[in-house]
Structure 1
């Protein structure tokens, strides 16, 4: 439980460090389970822009969390 709480805190800090548009896109995608099309409509932008935002957000999160949170086995 302590480890999960620690992971949650790391993730929250990493999310908080993202630029607002990247954070919004990743939250809508991963937490609200919306499609890129739905996110584009909400953010009033193109699907291509959402794809780029998600790509950059995931890259930054991987960099910030690298070595902190174990990878899931597929």
Structure 2
């Protein structure tokens, strides 16, 4: 779903109608941000977030020990 100028609130309202566990919080936050930054490409920024998450998951590996996670992500 690509957001265009003038549509962020409509897109956000549609998203907000979903059950809580189905709401894409990152998309919702970016839609709100796009009201302040009209040139914001929501889909592109979601891709950036996905890439950051993939990098973090790679660095963490299977280790979910809190201190190990902090150390891995701070390197």
TM-score (norm 1): 0.33
Between Structure 1 and Structure 2, the one with more helix by share is 1
Bigger radius of gyration: 2
TM-score (norm 2): 0.33
Higher RCO (CA-CA < 8 Å; seq separation 6+): 1
